[in-house]
Amino acid sequence: MPPPADTSPDDTNLPEVEDEDDQDALADEWEAMVAGEDESDPAVMGDGAPSSRVLNQDEIDSLLGFDEDHDDSSERSGIQAILNSALVSYERLPMLEVVFDRLVRLMSTSLRNFTSDNVEVSLDNINSIRFGDYLNSIPLPAMLSVFKAEEWDNYGLITVDSALIYSIVDVLLGGRRGTAAMRIEGRPYTTIERSLVERMIHVMLADLSAAFEPLSPVNFRFDRLETNPRFATISRPSNAAIVAKLRIDMEDRGGRLELLIPYATLEPVRELLLQMFMGEKFGRDSIWETHLAEELWQTHVDMDAVLDEQTMRLNDVFNLRVGSRIMLNVTPNDLIELRCGEVPMYRGQVGRKGDHIAVRIDHQVPTKQRER
């Protein structure tokens, strides 16, 4: 009987060992097969967790709002929209709108007298903007006038576009009506054009001072006239500013004029600009004024009857003791002075009425002597 076959493992019966490249290829094939099974059942992955998806760079840029293909300043999304909204969101100043409405009425009258023509001034809009963005948005050529608010110790800016410049020059130099002002390209503004525009700026600054007069007296002084926005930098580019856009029409001619006032310039009168407009009295409340006047008549004040005043040395004051006498330079027939605080009001003669000492008022102190 033949011996049983040996069942122990023999190296000769094992398959041939693959090299490292074959092993890597087999591992990649196995991973691809497992991934295919997972995609066939996307709801479950391993332990039941939902499958995750990796975003590419374009999707990340679109999510954050940095998509270059759709770079529109008016339509932003994501983090970029949050950042921009925080930079241009400023408080509303109700009284400033009233000031600009008053400015429009004053300019309509003053420019008619200035040009001897029919001028209509209208306010397009009032908005908030960063100063750097405004300088970049100015259409050139234009004239930029820098003015200073002397009481507030800060600056503002007036921008006159080319259409209004040539229209003002045409009107002031006797141009015919019915023909639009001709714009000449390729040359800088002449001295005559700059001088005429400067005269118009002076008229507008006088009206602007008059518009602020009921709220807070301020004098706007013309500083300089520039044609390059870089030389008209009156504030930091990131600072906030108010821009009022005005439209000036002279029959078939006209143009636009923009008034920029930084928030830093308006800071001294910020509390006044935050109040609400109450009727035609420019912020004054007649009901409160009447109530205050009525209450003032019921106010108690102290009146002092001054017999005499003396000037003494400090040494004599320290030497005063109980029983010391101070001699007054007044007689029973002399007039004494009645004062309210430090203000002299009346003069009269002292006497007695019953058990009380009384003063009979003989004279009233003039107002000029009270102010002294």
Residue 369: its pLDDT value, please?
Answer: 66
Tokens read off for 57: 């760079």
Average pLDDT over the chain reads: 77
Q: Rounded to whole angstroms, how far apart are CA atoms 78 and 86?
A: 13
Q: Is 64 within the bounds of a domain? A: no
Boundaries of domain holding 130 = 94-281
- Look up the CATH number of the domain holding residue 126: 3.40.1550.10
pLDDT in tens, 93-115: 778 888 888 899 999 999 888 88
Residue 72: the pLDDT is 47
Q: Give domain status of residue 289, yes or no.
A: no
State whether 141 and 220 are in the same domain: yes
| Single-letter amino acid, residue 360 | R
Domain membership of residue 326 (yes or no) is yes
Residues 194 and 275 in one domain: yes
pLDDT at 199: 92
Q: 């923009």: which residue's tokens?
A: 258
Report the alpha-carbon distance of residue 249 to residue 118 in Å, rounded. Answer: 8
Helix, strand, or coil (residue 151) = coil
Q: What is the pLDDT of residues 174-193, one digit of tens each?
A: 776 656 555 556 678 888 88
Q: What CATH number corresponds to the domain at position 365?
A: 2.30.330.10
Q: How many structural domains does the chain have?
A: 2
Residues 125 and 272 in one domain: yes
Tally of CB atoms within 10 A around 225:
18
Residue 89 within any structural domain of the chain = no
Q: Give strand ranges (E) for 14-141.
A: 120-130
Residue 334's CB: how many other CB atoms inside 10 A?
A: 13
Distance CA 76, CA 66 (A): 9
**Residue 264 tokens, joined:** 């830093």
- Same-domain status, 268 and 318: no
What is the spatial distance between Cα 121 and Cα 244, in angstroms, rounded to a whole number?
12
Q: Are residues 196 and 259 in the same domain?
A: yes
Specify the DSSP class assigned to residue 240.
Answer: E
Angle of the 191-212 helix axis to the 94-115 helix axis, nearest 10: 140
The pLDDT assigned to 202 comes to 93
Strand-pair partners of 144? 159, 226
Are residues 113 and 216 part of one domain?
yes
In a domain, 243, yes or no: yes
Relative to beta strand 120-130, strand 240-250 is: antiparallel
Do residues 213 and 360 both lie within one domain? no
Whether pLDDT at 272 is above 50:
yes
Sequence-ordered list of residues with C-beta below 8 angstroms from that of 284, at least 6 positions apart, any chain: 278
What is the largest distance, in Å, between two alpha-carbon atoms of the chain? 170
Mark whether 98 and 149 lie in a shared domain.
Answer: yes
What is the spatial distance between Cα 154 and Cα 146, in angstroms, rounded to a whole number? Answer: 11
